[in-house]
Every structure is written in C-alpha cells, then in structure tokens.
Chain A
Amino acid sequence: MSAARRRIADPTLVALAFVLTLFGIAMVYSAGQTDVPTLVARLYRQQILWFCLGLGAAYAVSRASVRFLDWVATPAYAASCFLLLLLLFVGAGAGTAAGTKSWLAIGGVRLGQPSELAKIVVVLMLAKILAARREAPKSLLDLWKPALVVFVPWLLIMQQPDLGTGIVFVGIFFAMLFWAGVSWQLLVLVASPVVSLILAFGPGVWGAWFLVLIALVLWYKPYLVEGVAVVLANVVTGVVAPILWDKLNPYQQKRLLVFLDPTADPLASGYHVIQSQVAIGSGGWFGKGFTLGSQKRLAFLPAQHTDFIFPVVGEELGFLGITVAMALFLMLLLRSVRIAARSPDPFPSLVAFGLASAWFVHILVNVGMTLNLMPITGIPLPFFSYGGSFLLACWIAVGILVRISAEGRGKADMLVI
C-alpha cells in the first residue's frame, strides 16, 4: 500500500469519537479527584487502556467487510443469546451495578458486560432480518420476526435485571423499524400496549389514550384480527399494569416514584437526582473549573465516574462545557445518520442507523436522568462513563460505521482507520 492510500475513510466521524473519548477520559480523571481519595482516582488509567484496546478493535472491525458482518450476524446473535442466558447463572455484580448479574467473570476475573456487545449484535441481526424483506412491514404479523430478535435478548437482560439496557433495546427496535420504512401509524400501534401500561396509573388519561387508539385502528385499517389484538393488548396492559407494579422490586418502584417526585425521599433515592441537579446548577455559565467541582470533590455526586459523569461536566465546565459536549454528540449522530442515508444497500444502512439510535437512547436517557427528565436507570453515557466493555463497544461501533461509510462511497479498499 502506498502512503497516499493510507488515509482514514471517514475522518469526521473518527475525529468526533476521538475528541469525545478524550473529553470523557479527562472527566473520568476529574471524577477521581475527590477530597477523600477513593479507588476512582486511578480509574482513568484503565480507561486509557480500554481506549487503546477500543482503537485496536475499531481498526480490526473496519477491516471486515459489510458482507462479513452480514454473514457473522446470525452466529454472533446465537452466541450472544447463549452468553446472556449463561450470565443469569454465573453473572456477577460489580461497580455501580453491584446488585445485578451483568458481569461475565471467569475465575473471579471480571471480563466485561456482554450486554454491551449484545447491543451491536442485535443491531446486526435486526438489520439482517429487516433487509431481507423487499417491502417494509405493513402489518403486525410482518413484525413478529424482528420483534422476536429483540425480545429474546431483551428478556434475558431484564432478568439480570438491567432496566437501562432494556430501554436501549426498545429504542433500537423502534428506530430501526422507522428506518426500514414502517409507517408511523403501525409504530404507534406496536407501541400502544406499552403506552397503555404507563398511562394505566391515571384512569382518565388512559381512557383518552384508548379512544385515540380506537380512532387510529379504524383509520389505519389493519387486519381485523390484528386490530382486535392491539385493542385487547391495550386493555390488558391498562388493567394489568397495577398488578405488575406490585410485582416490581421495591427499589424499582422507588426509582420510578422518585422520578415523578425527587423530593419525596431526599436522602435515599431522590438524593441522587437532587445532588446531580445541584452540581449541574451550581456550575453556572463557565463552571467551577476543571477538577474543582465541590459537589464532586466532596462526594455528594453518586456514581460520578459512571452514570453521573455528566453532572461533573456541568459543575466544572459549566453550561459552556455542556454545550460543547452536546454539540459533539449531535454532530456524531448526524454524521452517523448521514452514513446510513448514503449507504446504497439496506443492510449497512440499517446497521448504521441502529448503532446511531443506540447511542442516541444512551445519551437521551443518561443526560435526561441527570436533570430529572428521565428516571434513574443506570445507563452509561457513550465515550464518557467509565467502563471498559462499553467504551470498547462504542469504538467497535465506530469501526463498523467507518467501514459502512467507506463502502458506501466506493472506498472499500481504503485503509479505514
């Protein structure tokens, strides 16, 4: 290969991901700078190691053609499901997710969280299924395959339990159906039982929603069986919801309740949200200065190196830092959507959009959570939160996107990273 061809296929995307990761590592370093030192102080070094590993993985992945990804999707999916199933028996809790079985550990050495990689695999599998069809799914029956693809790993992950990752799967599912051309009416019908579930707590609101749904069914005119099924499903979830509520773990109920009113239990669950808002709010325009956040230094912020790393940005770098970070994220996502849109084939296009949507759900839920716009679900922020598997997964996604971008512009033989 000549020197002239050794170029990065999509420098914009790689540069954005690179800057975001450096920004993130700086914040992980800052999160460790507390007045009473903890183990977190040294974690930024591990994050750098994972970043190097991630770069290597991204390079390797970018060398694999889209055809190979298409081919590997099915066995990878099967392997992932098996791994997630295995995890329910051998999984270990660790770090900020101590109560769950998210970690794969062999001989006491924690290797990582398979659910992070499962997200990518599910995107691949879902893209493969959806791309195989000539037409976009037009009825609920057409959707059973893609639904099953997401449902199996989703169920396994919810068993860990990891509500956050579960939400990401749901987000990926709807985003990719949208990209595949499924009409918005059908999407609403699919989502309607979940909406019913949420609205079931207010009978009046649920009643209104139900009328809207009936109207939508009459207008969209699905198959009779499907229409009845949707309506029935809504009735069931609307009525079953309170019963399900009782079956939730008390801490899960608490988290949802605290989402509705964070001051309800200020020193227990609501404490996190309040402290997060205090940290962000006290940052002001320009923040208290890098590593100088007092909320963070005095350990008022919970999980400040993982789930609540964004409040550290807000406290230390202020609204300016937040805006810069959000702008970088937005550019990354827009770039990914552009890659998806320019890809001539369905499979890579769907993969690119699916990966972007996974990032988007992560950002939306994590950032929203720090401002009490979303419930606390323990979902990390891409490129920022400390966590090896997740950073690795993010960079693998970057590698895939770069490959898709390169192939989409006929530069497949180019050295992509």
Chain B
Amino acid sequence: MSYHPNEMQRRARLAAALLFLAFVFLVGSFFRTQVLQHAQYVLQSEENRLREVPLPAPRGVIYDRRGQIIAENLPGYSVSLLAPSVDSLRAALKRLSGTISLSSEQVDQAVRRFRRAPNRPAVIFSDASFDVVSVLEEHRVEFPGLIIQSAPKRYYPDGPAVAAFIGYTGEVNENELASASFRGYKAGQQVGKDGLERQYESLLRGREGTRFVEVDARGRVVREAGARQDLLPEAAAPMYTNIDLDLQKFTVELFGDSLIGGVVALDPRSGAVLALHSAPTFDPNRFIGGIPVEYWRALNQDERRPLYNKAIKGTYAPGSIWKLATAVLALQSGLVSLEDQMPLACTGGFQYGNRRFKCWDKKGHGHLTLAQAIEVSCDVYFYQLGLKIGLSRLVAGGVDLGARERTGIDLPSETRSIFPTAPATEYYNRRFGPRGWTQSASLNLAIGQGENAQTVINMARFYTALATDGAAVQPEIVRGAAQRTQLFALNDEQMTGVRKALAGVVQRGTAAASRIEGVMLAGKTGTAQNAQDATRDHAWFVGFAPADDAKIVVAVMLEFGGHGTRAARIASKIIEHYLKMQTTQAILTEGD
C-alpha cells in the first residue's frame, strides 16, 4: 500500500469527485421527479386517495292530468362497499355476513358490480331496509369501506292500478350498458325498465351527483372530501300525463281479479290516453330494487299472463267491431249507402260456393239496410258487402285504415297489429299457396275474422276516427300536441249516419243492455272466435259518447270473455263514470 500523502490526496480528490457526481445525479433525479414531473404525480396521488361515490338523482315525479301522483320517490338507503380489489371485497363481504344475512347470490352480485366498475363502491343493497341500516351503522367501525347513503327509491302509490303503462325501474344491465341508447350510463345506476319509465328515461333520470371520499391504502374511508356544488345530484323535472287517475282506478276496479283483458280510454280529439289497463295486473313496486324470485316465478306461471300487456301487446281477432271498417270502405267507394240493402235477405246463413257461412243469429235478420245491419251486427249482410267490395279492396282499404300499424303510443312495447298486406292476391298466394285459398277469404275479412288480429289500442284509435271526422289520433300518455291522421273521407251525412247506427247498437241493438241514462252512447260489440279456444270467444266493445260530440272513446277486450255485450257493459260504465266526472268538474269550475 502506498500511503504517500500525495497519493492519498489524489485518491481523496477522486473519491470526492465520485461522491459529488453520485449526489448530483441523485439530486438531479429528485429534481426531475419532484419539479418536472410534479403535476403528473400530484394527479396520481389524488387518484390514489379519492374515490368517487355516486349520488343518485331523484327521478322525475309523474302526475296524472289533475296533479295526482302516479310515481314518486321515497327516501331509501343503499349500502355499498369500497374495496381495492376483488379479494378484499370478498373478505369484507364475508365479515359483513357475520353481522347481517347475505345470500351467496348477493355476494356474487356485489362482486359482479365491482368488476364492472372497480372505482365505484360496489352496491350490496340498492334498497336496504331500515333494520339492516341501523345494524350496520352500529357496527360501522368494523367495516371501514362501508358506505351507507340515502338513495331515492321509486314508489307507485297505486302500483297495481298503473302497472300497464308505468313500467318500473331497476339496475341497468350489461346489455343495456353495451347499447348506444345507454351511452353515458354507469354500472349500478337505476334506469326505467318498461312503460313510461323506460320510454321517458332521458327525461326522468335526472343528473347523478358525485361526492368524493378519501380512502387509505386499504380502501378504508378516512374522511369525506366533500361534494363540489356542481356535482350535486339534480332531480329531473316532473312529468305530467294525460292519465285520469280516478278513471284509471275505476276501470281497474271494474276488472277486479276475475276478468282478463285490456282496456284503453282515449280522448278522440287530443289523443290523450285517459286510462289504460291490462288485467290481471301486478304490483310494479315489488319490482323496484330487484324482482323477488318467487314473485317473478308466480307471475310467469300464472296462465292469465299478468305480465303480458293486453292493451298494447296482445293482438286479437276484432270480430264484429271490424264491420265498421268494412262499412266505411264500402261507403267511401260509393258502393252502397247506409240505406242500401243486399240482394239476399239474412236467413241465418249464407251459401258461398260449397260452404255455408253462418250468421251469429240462427233465426236470421231478414232484409236489412246497412245501418240496420250495423245495429244488429248481421253477418250475412257483411258477407255480401265483402264480396261486393272484393278481396283486394278489402285488404288495401284495411291497410289504409291502419290495420297493420302501431298507433305510436308513447310506450316501449306496443305490438304491430296483424293484417294482410296489399296486394291481397300476392299475400294469400304467399301464405296459403296459389290454390290454398278462395275469394271466400273476403267473407271472413268483412266480419273481422281471418288474417286479422288487432291490438286493443289500435281499435280504440280506429274508433277515434269514427267518433270525429275520419281522422284518427295518435294516443299519448304524456302531454303533447295532438297528431291526427285522416284515415277515410266520408261526408257529414255519412258520418252522422254511421254514428247513428252505432248509437242504435246501444239503443236497440246488440249492446242494448249497456245504455247510459241521459247520454247517447255509440259503439259496436264484437264476439271474436279465436284459435286458442273454440268454445270461448273474445269479447269486444269499442264505443264513444256522446255520439254526436264524442268526449271519450273506450275499447274493451275481454280475453275468452264470451259475448261482446259483457265488454259493452264495462265500457259503458267507464264512459258513464268519465262523463259524470267531467260534468261535476264543469259545475265545480263554473261555481268558482
């Protein structure tokens, strides 16, 4: 070893230089990290410690036409967990299940929710009972990532009465999240699932707010970082509908538990849907926050199909109520007038080719004018009228009358009614083969049987044209401007004549039992054969009142309900109730 002082000094200088370089390098690295990359790391540090907790916005309150509440929000509680990873979430849920009862499905669901949105608290109960909340609050210290917050809960005060159109709300599912119409939605949010809730989701949802909580490395909530003012939830504006809740509830009571069917009540001028019901009904309140399995099963196994909307979804052979369509087509083309008779009198049946087509009344109706044929619903008259019009014009005319259309009601699941397409020959060839059918198809079509299945709402729409000036109105639950479409053009005399004949149905004809004292009720019964059950017909009645200045059109269909007179009785009660309410209202208003 050489320890000459000069040597030592040389090495000391070298060592000092190396030291200096190393420290400059280290300090330089700190400078880069702390000063040059400061912004990036500050951001990362914020992301580290702040977790977004969504604050659900109250959905818009839905009112009826008089300001009565159809859908509102009740204070509820949601329970969720903040966790850094699936494993720690599972561990926390396991500990949680020692305090409150948690099914394995609930655990799996919470894990699924976490996987979809790991940065949001995983919802365990979207609607926790007060008991659960109070127990959890008591043990809050033991569950550091637990977030209990108030979450508005949807409530329908008259649940079963409005089930047919209100729909329900539920957690947005994966399919919805993937679709374009739900862009901007986040997993765990509540969305409208059916009915108005779904149709007007964008208006009803409000704006979700956000608050931030500060968490530590283990995801424990350390403190509230506070919500910024612009991130507070915003309730949606209230929504006013045309529904007359009194009439709706009255209608539902009429159907009670025993009847199966659908009913629609419309204002023929504005298209306002006054009432819409499908029986039997269910309670949409039980669907909120997840449908209980047994309830869902019971509804699905019920052979009366409570979940199948018979007013807008179900299609049924219209039967005799379609005779008005046949009559309108004949009148419009000038083939007959309301006073014209057919060549053959009704003897209870009609021979066409090698087959005898029966009239519903075996005794026969004798010679009738068109007006009389409508009153008594004579099949034989309409068989001959159908032949006179001809199949192609029957089909083309029916299509023009909207027999293949949706009414455009503002509900998501309306079905298109079923009717042949024009030209008729092509349609029947395609359907039955060129030799599989004869011109006798026009006999069936003329009396509303055959290839014809209409929704209740579509029949109500057609009768709004009969009740007014030949223009049908688009039914609307939520208030909007009336959209009317001219379906046919009859002169005033013809219109009056048709309405007189329809009034005759109730005065003297098939629905004579359904007269309303002091009101001219017009309408048509229908008793439609159906493929499902040959012994039990569907009972139809579509009517309006007062006949000369209609305020309301009601279409009633009773599934397997027998004769149309039964439907007529229900419709007349609905109309009577409505007109009486209108009168009372008018008197009250005048009294002010």
Where the two chains meet, the residues of A that have a C-beta atom closer than 8 Å to any C-beta of B are 34-36, 130-131, 133-136, 178-181, 267, 275, 277-285, 294-295, 297-300, 314, 318-319, 322-323, 326, 329-330, 333-334, 337-338, 340-341, 344-346, 349, 353, 360, 364, 367-368, 371, 373
Contacts and interface: CB of A to CB of B under 8 A. Distances in A.
Contacts of B42: 281-282, 284
A337 B12 contact: yes
Interface in B111-136: none
B27 A323 contact: yes
Contacts of A349: 3, 8
A278 B41 CA distance: 5
A294 B34 contact: no
Contacts of B38: 281-285
A359 to B, nearest CB: 11
Nearest to B33: A281
Contacts of A323: 27, 30
Contacts of A334: 16, 19
B392 interface: no
A180 B12 contact: no
A319 B34 contact: yes
B12 A338 contact: yes
Contacts of B2: 135-136, 181
Most buried by B among A180, A283, A346, A360: A283
B449 to A, nearest CB: 70
B7 A373 contact: no
Contact of A300 (B11, B20, B40, B48): B48
13 contacts: A35-B223, A136-B1, A280-B41, A281-B42, A282-B41, A282-B42, A285-B38, A295-B49, A299-B217, A300-B48, A300-B217, A322-B27, A337-B16
Contacts of A136: 1-2
Interface string B376-398: 00000000000000000000000
Contacts of B33: 277, 280-281, 314, 371
B31 interface: yes
B315 to A, nearest CB: 57
Interface residues of B, number: 40
A349 B15 CA distance: 14
A266 to B, nearest CB: 11
A353 B34 contact: no
A278 B44 contact: yes
Contacts of A330: 19-20, 23
Contact of B1 (A133, A279, A360, A364): A133
A346 B3 contact: yes
B1 A299 contact: no
B48 A295 contact: yes
A364 B3 contact: no
Contacts of A297: 216, 222
B222 A368 contact: no
A371 B31 CA distance: 11
B41 A135 contact: no
B214 interface: yes
Contacts of A360: 19, 22
Contacts of A36: 216, 220, 222
Contacts of A344: 3
A320 B100 CA distance: 52
Given A319-B34, A341-B11, 16 more contacts: A35-B222, A133-B1, A134-B1, A178-B11, A179-B11, A277-B33, A280-B41, A281-B37, A294-B49, A319-B35, A337-B16, A337-B19, A353-B15, A368-B26, A371-B26, A371-B30
A81 B48 CA distance: 46
A334 B21 CA distance: 12
A279 B38 CA distance: 10
B45 interface: yes
Nearest to B29: A371
B20 A280 contact: no
B34 A364 contact: no
A185 B85 CA distance: 53
A36 B1 CA distance: 57
Nearest to B4: A181
A113 B578 CA distance: 93
Q: SS class of chain B's interface: helix, strand, loop or mixed?
A: helix
Contacts of B413: none
A319 B26 contact: no
Interface string B218-234: 10101100000000000
Nearest to B214: A298
B333 interface: no
Nearest to B10: A341
Nearest to B3: A346
Contacts of A329: 23
B9 interface: yes
B30 A130 contact: no
Contacts of B502: none
Closest 5 CB pairs of A and B: A281-B41, A341-B12, A298-B216, A282-B45, A319-B34
B220 to A, nearest CB: 6
Nearest to A367: B26
B8 A280 contact: no
A19 to B, nearest CB: 17
B1 A314 contact: no
A282 B39 CA distance: 7
Most buried by A among B16, B30, B45: B30
A298 B144 CA distance: 13
A285 B34 contact: yes
Contacts of A283: 34, 38
A345 B3 CA distance: 8
B119 to A, nearest CB: 14
Contacts of B85: 267
Most buried by A among B11, B33, B35, B215: B33
A34 B214 CA distance: 13
A178 B20 CA distance: 17
Most buried by A among B8, B16, B215, B223: B8
Nearest to B14: A178
B87 to A, nearest CB: 10
A346 B217 CA distance: 52
A279 B9 CA distance: 41
Given A337-B19, A341-B8, A346-B1, A282 B49 contact: no
Contacts of B218: 299
A226 B42 CA distance: 55
A172 B17 CA distance: 18
A131 B12 contact: no
A338 B457 CA distance: 101
Contacts of B223: 35
Contacts of A277: 33, 41
A337 B16 CA distance: 7
B400 to A, nearest CB: 67
B15 A35 contact: no
A322 B26 CA distance: 10
B2 to A, nearest CB: 5
Contacts of A314: 30, 33-34
Nearest to A323: B27
Contacts of B45: 278-279, 281-282, 294-295
Contacts of A346: 1, 3
Contacts of B35: 284-285, 319
Contacts of B12: 337-338, 340-341
B11 A364 contact: no
A365 B26 CA distance: 11
A211 B12 CA distance: 32
A35 B23 CA distance: 34
Contacts of B31: 319
A83 to B, nearest CB: 30
Given A131-B1, A326-B26, A368-B26, A333 B19 contact: yes
Most buried by A among B15, B31, B40: B15
Contacts of A367: 26
B15 A337 contact: yes
A85 to B, nearest CB: 31
A367 to B, nearest CB: 6
